[in-house]
Amino acid sequence: MKTSYLLLFFFWINCSAFSQHNDPKIRVCDNIYLQRISVNAYVHVSQDDISGFGQVSSNGLIYVNNGEAFLFDSPASEASTRALVTWLTDSMKLKIVGFVPNHWHVDCMAGLAFLHSQGIPSYANQMTIDIARSHHLPEPRNGFTDSLNLKLGDRDIRCYYFGAAHSLDNIVVWIPYEKVLFSGCMIKAMSSGNLGNTADGDVKAYPATIRKVKARFPDAVIVIPGHGNFGGIELIEHTLQLSVR
C-alpha cells in the first residue's frame, strides 16, 4: 500500500510539472502572448518584421517575485515592447525593475530606448554595450564582463558570458530557484536544422561555448531558445551537434 501511495505521489508531481509547462497562452495583443513555464516565470513570444528576415517570432523571459519583474530580451520593435510593458504593468500589476538583453541584435534590445524612458535599469555584457555604441544604437547602462549576480527580492538572477556563438557577445541567464536557463539565440529549438544566422557570430568558437554551457547547467529543467519552442537540456545537446557538423 505504501508503494502505491508513493507511485501516486510521484505521478501527481510529474503531472503538476507538465501542466505548468502547458498552461494556456495568455494573449497580450495580436502579435504577443505569454506562456507560463513555472510558478514565477513566463516566456514572452512576439512576432515582428525584422529587416532581411521578414516576420520573425522571438522569445524572451519575464521573471516575477512579489509584484516586481525582470525582463530578459525585448520584442523586436519599440511598439511591441511598449505593448508588452503596458500590459505587464496594467494587467498583471507588475513593476519592471530591470532589463537584460542576451546580445545586441534587434530581437533582444529593440525596445531599450523605451525601457530607459520608463526608468527601467538595464544590464548587459560590456561587449554588448561596446557593439551597440559602434552601431549607434541605444546602449545598456550597466556592463559586466564574465558574470553578474542580480537580485529580484530574495531571488537570485545570474548572468554569464561563456564566449562567442550566435554573436560575439551572447550571454545566458540562469534562474537557480526555477532551474530556468534563458539561453537566447545561441541555443536552437529542437526543430532547427542548422545554427541559423551566424553572420555576427563565430562558428569556430561555437562548439566550445556550448560545451561550457552544457557543463555548467546539467540540472536545467527548462531551456529557452531565442526562437522556437522551449524544452529541456536536450536543446543544448542538439545545438552542440549542429555546431560540430
Q: What DSSP line would sit under 39-75, residue for residue?
A: SSEEEEEEEEEETTTEEEEEEEEEEEETTEEEEES--
Q: Which of 103, 159, 169, 238 is catalytic?
A: 103
Is residue 107 part of the annotated active site? The answer reads yes
Is residue 188 part of the annotated active site? The answer reads yes
Q: Which of 73, 170, 227, 238 is catalytic?
A: 227
Whether residue 107 contacts residue 50, with contact meaning beta carbons closer than 8 Å, is answered with: yes
CA distance 112 to 123: 11
Helix (H) or strand (E) holding 155: strand 155-160
Single out the residue of 152, 182, 172 nearest to residue 212, CA to CA: 172
Q: Which of 48, 108, 188, 238 is catalytic?
A: 188
Q: Kindly state the average pLDDT of the residues 32-45.
A: 96
Single out the residue of 220, 225, 205 nearest to residue 107, CA to CA: 225
Is residue 166 part of the annotated active site? The answer reads yes
Per CATH, the homologous superfamily of domain 26-243 is: Ribonuclease Z/Hydroxyacylglutathione hydrolase-like (3.60.15.10)
pLDDT at residue 38 tops 80: yes
Whole-prediction pTM: 0.90
Is residue 116 part of the annotated active site? The answer reads no
Which backbone phi and psi does 131 adopt, to 5 degrees? -70, -40
Q: Which of 107, 108, 169, 238 is catalytic?
A: 107
CA distance 156 to 15: 27
Reported as a pLDDT band with limits 50, 70 and 90, residue 57 is: very high
Span 93-136, pLDDT tens digits = 999 999 999 999 999 999 999 999 999 999 999 999 999 999 99
pLDDT at residue 157 tops 50: yes
Q: Kindly state the average pLDDT of the residues 31-43.
A: 96
Domain-wise residue ranges, the chain:
26-243
Q: Which of 130, 197, 200, 202 is catalytic?
A: 197
Q: Which of 59, 73, 102, 105 is catalytic?
A: 105
Q: Kindly state the average pLDDT of the residues 6-34.
A: 61
- Count other Cβ atoms within 10 Å, centred on residue 9: 10
Q: What is the DSSP letter of 199?
A: T
End-to-end CA distance of the chain: 52
The three cell numbers locating residue 117? 524612458
Q: Kindly state the average pLDDT of the residues 78-99.
A: 98
Reported as a pLDDT band with limits 50, 70 and 90, residue 11 is: very low
**From 14-23, 33-42, 89-98, the region with the lowest mean pLDDT:** 14-23
Contacts of 232 (CB under 8 A, 6+ apart): 220, 221, 222, 223
Reported as a pLDDT band with limits 50, 70 and 90, residue 245 is: confident
Q: Is 25 helix (H, G, I), strand (E, B) or coil?
A: coil
Is residue 227 part of the annotated active site? The answer reads yes
**From 11-20, 56-65, 161-170, 175-184, the region with the lowest mean pLDDT:** 11-20
pLDDT at residue 12 tops 70: no
